[in-house]
Chains A and B, each alone.
Chain A
């Protein structure tokens, strides 16, 4: 299974995302922002970072990159797409996911290990989790406060499209503690925290098996491989 990982000018976590794909058993394929060709990949990850320096708004300029046009079209046809952090911001700017992200309510950059509750498990990216399962992955952002109008928030919750929610302290003021959402079909998922940083023992958050042993993020990547096989 070939999973594309896009590099925009200013992407930071593209290599970590590619590494997560490899550790999950897939083949990462590097995609370039200026190249509209998706090279026949079976799924796409938009990684974290500060694409185009967050100019205008986080994710706003990346929406107009040639590769993004191809991804939006393919996503409407069912291609699994995961947006992490800045990738989530790009997906909202591209109107593939509702809502938007503004600056953290406390106005500071936040970097911490964050607990999340997985609430939707029939998506292409979360089918290997149990509903209600609490996982720990790193979170690091500046513009991480998820906002949407009340009607949209009600709709998301009513349709069960909140994929992950912050547990414990809300790290950035996100409305209704929302950390990640999906489209109706479940092939497009975006989230602020970073599952790709919790995929390998020795390099993840502290876990049950000791310091840095946490690999709770890995199943985002095994999930998509499973959804492609099934």
Chain B
């Protein structure tokens, strides 16, 4: 069984309210090393067989058309996850 990971992030120019909330919570727990946080989404797409070029192409297409909204988000990575 193979697995493809699709990572989606809010566009850099779009304010990320969730990331900002996390960023302001970190120092309260002593994590004061981080000057900013952006929160994205990770999708794991499973296939029964091996991850072929076609499978990766389909995952890229799904990333662009369904898993992200190109107005507010970018697909930043599509890759096979090795066990």
Contact = CB atoms under 8 A, between A and B. Distances in A.
Interface of A: 56-57, 60, 92-93, 98-100, 102-107, 145, 147-149, 173
Interface string B1-38: 00000000010011101101100000000000000000
Contacts of B67: 56
Contact of B69 (A60, A103, A149): A60
Given A92-B71, A99-B71, A173 B21 contact: no
B71 to A, nearest CB: 4
Interface of B: 10, 13-15, 17-18, 20-21, 66-67, 69, 71-72
A99 to B, nearest CB: 6
B15 A93 contact: no
> By DSSP majority rule, is chain A's interface helix, strand, loop, or mixed?
loop
A56 B67 CA distance: 7
Contact of A100 (B15, B17, B20, B71): B71
A107 B16 CA distance: 10
A57 B69 contact: yes
Contact of A107 (B10, B18, B66, B69): B18
Given A102-B15, A105-B15, A147 B20 contact: no
